[in-house]
Structure 1
């Protein structure tokens, strides 16, 4: 398994719709990878637990999926808690709360 790549974003693009979407997709990617890794689940194990395809897991961890409510509910169910959305200090953050 290759290491997870965390995206970085150049300054000056804040407020652009593509920037906003990419930041949320990257936050979701990091959340899924971190939580799956903590549990020592393979991508295939996570896919089975979540009821999604391995390709979809790769898209989740590759910053290709936008964190809409359905995705967040699915993750909360799989990880057994809830997903907290960022606040004032870190607006583009997602965290798992047990």
Structure 2
């Protein structure tokens, strides 16, 4: 008795690509599609917030860094390492706004 596959990956492994070419292609696409689009939506909403007044006052590298920090907010940061890296940089421009 053959058991039916429970996931798309199992079905792809059991599918004969020579005999069922179209089904094999569809299963391959199904297996590579993301389950959720939450990360992409979170990225766009973060950029929408940052693109307002902040975008006109900063360069692309800083904007990208802030967006990545906001998107990956669950990543642990080592503050001492950040301070050490900043201290080693020779070019530390600071703009003071009055």
Structure-1-length-normalised TM-score: 0.26
Q: Which has the larger radius of gyration?
A: 2
- The TM-score normalised by the length of structure 2 is 0.26
